[in-house]
Amino acid sequence: MALPENKAKQKKVQLQICGVSKDFDGTLAVNNVDLDIYQGEIFALLGASGCGKTTLLRMLAGFEKPSAGSILLEGEDMARLAPYQRPMNMMFQSYALFPHMTVENNIAFGLKQDRMPKQQIADKVAEVLGLVQMEAYAKRKPHQLSGGQQQRVALARSLAKSPKLLLLDEPMGALDKKLRTRMQLEIVNILEKVGVTCVMVTHDQEEAMTMADRVGIMNAGILSQVGSPMEVYERPNSRMTAEFIGSVNLFEGELVVDEVGYVEIASDSLESNIYIAHGIVGSEGMALAVAIRPEKINISRTEPAQAHNKARGVVEDIAYLGSHSVYHVRLPSGFKVLASVANSNRQIASDEQQRITWGDEVFVSWSDSCAVVLYS
C-alpha cells in the first residue's frame, strides 16, 4: 500500500511549497500549506468548491502573491519572478486559446517570446502537435475546433515551452462526461510520455484518482491529507477526508478498552463494541470515530460466526448501480449502514444472499482489521 509513496520519495523534490497562505481581505483562501512535489509525478489537488485550490495554483503560476510562505522550484525562490519569468506553464479551465490566432500560432506564441529561431519553432510546434495528434488542424482557428480538440491544443501550448512544472486547472471541466473519461487517460499518457511534473486541480475525486500519482485533499484552505489515491481512500486521516472521498460508514464513539494488541470502541449507533485488532494511540474515554467503507461490510441472513463487529438490521433500500448494489440497512439505533455488494457475487451467491430484499432482517459484519480509527 505504501509503495507509490516510497517510489516517489526516492525521486528528487521538484517544487516546495512552504507555509504558503493567501488572505483575501480577511478570508483566508489558502491556510499555511506545506507540500513537496516530486519530479515527474502527477499531483492532484482535490477539494470541494471554494476550498482554495485555484488560488493555490494561481500562486504557483504567479498570478496571486502569497500573503505568507515561499514557493521554491528546483530550490529557486519564485517570489520575485513575474508570471512571464517563471519556468512553468498553465492550462486554463477555459483553455484560453487566443481566438485571433491559428492553432499553430497559439502554440508558437510562447516560443516566440523566447526569441527562438523560426525553424526551431516550426519543429517544436510540429512535435507537440504530433504529441496530441492534432497535426491536421494546425491552420485552424480555435473556434473551428470542438471542445476536446481545443483541450488538446491548450495542452500542446502549455507543453511547448518544456516547462519544469505544468499546472492544470480543472482540465476536464469544460468537457462532457463521456469525453472526460477518455481524455483523462489520454492526458496521463501524454504527460508520462513527456515526463513533465504536473500539479492539477479538480473537484472530481474520480478524476483525481484516475490521473494522479498522489492526491492532496484540501478543505477550507487547509491541506488535510496527502498520499497516493489508495492511501487516502483506505487510510483517511480525518472524518472530512473519509467522507469526501467515496462513501463511508462513520461511527462516532469513545475508546472503552485500550490494550496493547487490540482496542474496543463503544458507539451509540451499535449495540456491541467495535473491536479493532491493533493498538492505537489514545486513552480510555477518548472520543473517536470509526470509518468503514461500504464494500468492507458483509451482509447475510444468518448470524456470522465471528465474535465481534456484527449488528442486526433491516434492509431499507437497495440501490442498483450496475457493477454493484448498495444496501441500506437500518440498525435498531436508527443508524443506517451502507453495504456495497458486487453484482457478480450477487449473481452466483448462495440462494440465501440472493433472496435478501427490502424489509429483510439481516446481519451486517466486518473483519477486525478493516475499520479505520479517526481522531479528527
Ligand X SMILES: Nc1ncnc2c1ncn2[C@@H]1O[C@H](COP(=O)(O)OP(=O)(O)OP(=O)(O)O)[C@@H](O)[C@H]1O
Question: Could you list the residues that contact ligand X (CB under 6 A)?
Answer: 24, 27, 29, 47, 49-55, 203
- CB 89 → other proteins: shortest distance, Å? 6
Please say which residue, 146 or 344, places its beta carbon nearer to other proteins: 146
Sequence-separated (6 or more) residues with CB below 8 Å from residue 277: 261, 262, 368, 369
Using CB under 8 A, which of 24, 98, 358, 375 touches other proteins? 98
> 278-317 mask for Mg ion (x: CB under 5 A)?
----------------------------------------
User: Which triple of cell numbers denotes residue 172?
Assistant: 476536464
Inter-helix orientation angle 147-159/118-131, to 10°: 130
- CB 58 → ligand X: shortest distance, Å? 8
Assess 63 for contact with other proteins (CB under 8 A): yes
Per-residue CA distances from 188 to 210, 230, 365 (Å): 9, 18, 38
CA 153/CA 102 separation, integer angstroms: 10
Please say which residue, 221 or 229, places its beta carbon nearer to ligand X: 221
- CB 136 → other proteins: shortest distance, Å? 10
Cα angle vertex 72, ends 69, 76, to 5°?
130
Phi and psi torsions of 183, nearest 5°: -70, -30
Assess 80 for contact with other proteins (CB under 8 A): no
Please say which residue, 51 or 73, places its beta carbon nearer to ligand X: 51
- CB 69 → ligand X: shortest distance, Å? 16
Q: Give the Cβ contact number of residue 270 at 10 Å.
A: 21
Q: 92 is in the binding site of which of other proteins, Mg ion, ligand X, none (Cβ under 5 to 8 A by kind)?
A: other proteins
Q: 47 is in the binding site of which of other proteins, Mg ion, ligand X, none (Cβ under 5 to 8 A by kind)?
A: ligand X
- CB 53 → ligand X: shortest distance, Å? 4
- CB 244 → ligand X: shortest distance, Å? 13
Q: 332 is in the binding site of which of other proteins, ligand X, Mg ion, none (Cβ under 5 to 8 A by kind)?
A: none
State the DSSP string of 202-215: ES-HHHHHHH-SEE
CA 218/CA 236 separation, integer angstroms: 13
CA 373/CA 290 separation, integer angstroms: 5
CA 60/CA 78 separation, integer angstroms: 8
Assess 94 for contact with other proteins (CB under 8 A): yes
Assess 96 for contact with other proteins (CB under 8 A): yes
Contact predicate 340/294, CB 8 Å: yes
Q: 52 is in the binding site of which of Mg ion, other proteins, ligand X, none (Cβ under 5 to 8 A by kind)?
A: ligand X
Please say which residue, 189 or 306, places its beta carbon nearer to other proteins: 189
Using CB under 8 A, which of 32, 39, 93, 367 touches other proteins? 93
Give the residue nearest to Mg ion (CB): 54
Going by the DSSP 8-state scheme, the letter that residue 335 receives in this structure is: P
Please say which residue, 29 or 215, places its beta carbon nearer to ligand X: 29
Give one word for 359, left, alpha or beta, with left for phi > 0 and alpha for psi -120 to 50.
left
Contact predicate 224/217, CB 8 Å: yes
Assess 84 for contact with other proteins (CB under 8 A): yes
Residues binding other proteins: what is the number (CB under 8 A)?
29
Site for other proteins in 115-174 (CB under 8 A): 141, 143-149, 157, 161
Residues in the chain: 376
- Cα Rg of the chain (Å, integer): 25
The answer to whether the Cα torsion of 300, 305, 309, 310 is positive or negative is positive
Give the helix/strand (H/E) hosting 106.
helix 103-113
Q: Which residues in this chain contact other proteins in the complex, by CB under 8 A?
A: 61, 63, 82-85, 89-90, 92-94, 96, 98-100, 109-110, 113-114, 141, 143-149, 157, 161
Contact set with Mg ion (CB under 5 A): 54
